[in-house]
């Protein structure tokens, strides 16, 4: 039997090796850029995707989990043995859960009932508790996942709510990591950055960094129909993880040059088309951002334009919805006799596009 001290020395030498990471959070970031030449064929310029599904937790939200926790620890808001309570569409929950597992925190995640069962199961796999709330209620309704999370954070001793919608560590994480990665990977040649808007942290933080390097960078936001960012009237929609019915504090309302409104159908079926021709399994919000990027690229006459579209997550969480043809038909996304392969984004056209959208002034 090896002496305990020998075991500790072996572990110390192992961690000193550059190939061995201290823990899973050290694997976050450094995601690749992949060309989408087949899908974007016919569009001027080039469209490339930043594949955030390559993060260890499977999404872009891995980037904000640990920084929010560390900021709370420094501020004394989260103490050993505490509980993290957060409303999430799933991905932020995973980002928080993997960091919480390492630091020994309990997690309770509050989700809207439109989120996939795969996402709920995934959070439970990390040891988190999941509370499900109705989707079709006002944000200030006591049954909404925002208000339920507020109540739980207030009632549970030692609880802390990260509040990704207002936490400055959210956009700051993308300013420090996502933006620099895009700039370095393109050697500064990126001309357009396209991303969906949810909390607004990703597009705000990454764009702030990129604009500091290139003031001429064009930023395009992608927003599902029924979300407020593109000036639509708030109403339920199918797409998960993007869009909102209120204006988050983490969203810089001046960051987007344009915001493209995307239907559930175009977002879903563009994701399916991309998976079919590029071999990239992607989530619903990826299709939203991708359709906006492709349509915008088609409008730009510059063959030297380089569009970087951020794809937030993988399609593994949506196998029972986005990748289930019968579910798409029941949801009205796909016609009764229509086949997914019949859809081509090139046969569609841009709808409403707004510039510098901002919330209405108080009455």
- Which residues carry out catalysis? 61
Separation CA 162–CA 150 (nearest Å) = 11
Task: Encode 264-280: b = buried (16+ Cβ within 10 Å), e = exposed.
Answer: bbbbbbbbbbbbeebeb
Separation CA 310–CA 308 (nearest Å) = 7
Phi and psi at residue 255, to the nearest 5°: -75, -35
Strand arrangement, sheet containing 83-87: 129-133, 106-112, 83-87, 159-160
Task: Please count the other Cβ atoms lying within 10 Å of the Cβ belonging to residue 219.
Answer: 22
284 in Cβ contact with 241 (< 8 Å): yes
DSSP letter at 306 equals E
Return the structure tokens found at 163: 């509040």
Residues 6+ away with beta carbon under 8 Å from 86: 92, 93, 96, 107, 108, 109, 110, 149, 161, 162, 163, 164
């Amino acid at each position: 039997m090896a002496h305990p001290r020998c075991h500790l020395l072996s572990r110390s030498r192992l961690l000193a090796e550059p190939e061995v990471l201290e823990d899973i959070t050290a694997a976050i970031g450094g995601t690749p850029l992949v060309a989408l030449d087949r899908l974007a064929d016919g569009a001027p310029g080039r469209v490339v995707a930043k594949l955030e599904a390559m993060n260890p937790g499977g999404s872009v939200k891995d980037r904000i989990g640990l920084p929010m926790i560390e900021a709370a620890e420094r501020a004394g808001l989260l103490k050993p043995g505490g509980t993290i309570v957060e409303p999430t569409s799933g991905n932020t929950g995973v980002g928080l859960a993997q960091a919480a597992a390492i630091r020994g925190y309990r997690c309770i995640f509050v989700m809207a009932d439109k989120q996939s069962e795969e996402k709920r199961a995934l959070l439970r796999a990390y040891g988190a508790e999941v509370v499900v709330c109705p989707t079709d209620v006002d944000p200030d309704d006591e049954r909404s996942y925002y208000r339920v999370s507020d109540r739980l954070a207030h009632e549970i001793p030692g609880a802390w709510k990260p509040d990704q919608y207002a936490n400055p560590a959210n956009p700051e994480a993308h300013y420090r990591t996502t933006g620099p990665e895009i700039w370095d990977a393109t050697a500064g040649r990126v001309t357009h950055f396209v991303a969906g808007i949810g909390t607004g942290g990703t597009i705000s933080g990454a764009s702030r960094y990129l604009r500091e390097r290139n003031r001429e960078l064009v930023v395009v936001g992608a927003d599902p129909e029924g979300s407020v960012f593109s000036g639509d009237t708030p109403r339920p929609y199918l797409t998960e993880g993007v869009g909102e019915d209120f204006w988050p504090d983490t969203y810089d309302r001046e960051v987007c040059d344009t915001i493209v409104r995307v239907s559930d159908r175009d977002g879903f079926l563009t994701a399916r088309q991309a998976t079919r021709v590029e071999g990239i399994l992607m989530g619903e919000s990826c299709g939203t951002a991708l359709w906006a990027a492709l349509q915008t690229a088609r409008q730009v006459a510059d063959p030297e334009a380089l569009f970087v579209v951020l794809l937030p997550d993988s399609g593994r969480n949506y196998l029972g919805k986005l990748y289930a043809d019968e579910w798409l038909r029941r949801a009205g996304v796909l016609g009764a006799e229509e086949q997914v392969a019949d859809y081509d984004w090139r046969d569609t056209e841009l709808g409403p596009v707004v510039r510098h959208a901002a919330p209405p002034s108080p009455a």
